[in-house]
Amino acid sequence: MNLPRLRRRCSTGTSAVALLIAAVACSATDDTASVVVPSPAAKAAGLCRDLHAQLPEKVDGLERSDPGPASDLTAGWGDPAIILRCGVERPPEMLDPEVAKSDGVKVNGVAWLLQKRDDGSYVFTTGLRLAYVEVTLPKERTGGGLGPLTDFAAPIKRTIPKGVA
């Protein structure tokens, strides 16, 4: 067997595979939103999986279109997407009773901390539940009031018990 010829074949094959991988990665045109998947403790992760199974197909009239990467801890609706992440860390603002009280809302029996971001979007995080659920409303969806939160209230009440995580 001719060793230089074998090396040339192997390096050409390796280059071709690397080029193919790069081309596929660069040409992917996935329009779905992308989010950071939380990494909660086992108990919260189990509650989040239960919630995921109960989430509605439509929120505020928008069809479900889950973000990537696929996970039982995230879900999305519409474009731009309303994003739900379950098992997030407790926001530090919840430790300040004055902030939590002044920036809190209660929708159909579920308490939420409201935070406005610099980009005009809003983040709502459940309080007084054994797993924290975060819902992000893009600025394009903030004019409709708290409608999306009403769609989440029943599944959250059914799957994530009251308590302090």
**Ranges assigned E (strand) in the chain:** 58-59, 62-63, 74-77, 82-86, 104-107, 110-116, 122-126, 133-137
Question: How far apart (Å, rounded) are the C-alpha atoms in residues 60 and 77?
Answer: 9
Q: What is the residue-wise DSSP string for 25-42?
A: HHH----S-B-PPP---H
| pLDDT tens-digit profile, the chain (165 residues) | 544 444 444 344 443 333 333 333 333 334 557 899 999 999 999 999 999 999 999 999 999 999 999 999 999 999 999 999 999 999 999 888 777 667 889 999 999 999 999 999 999 999 999 999 999 999 998 876 778 999 999 999 999 999 987
Q: Order of strands across the sheet with 74-77?
A: 74-77, 82-86, 133-137, 122-126, 110-116, 104-107
pTM: 0.78
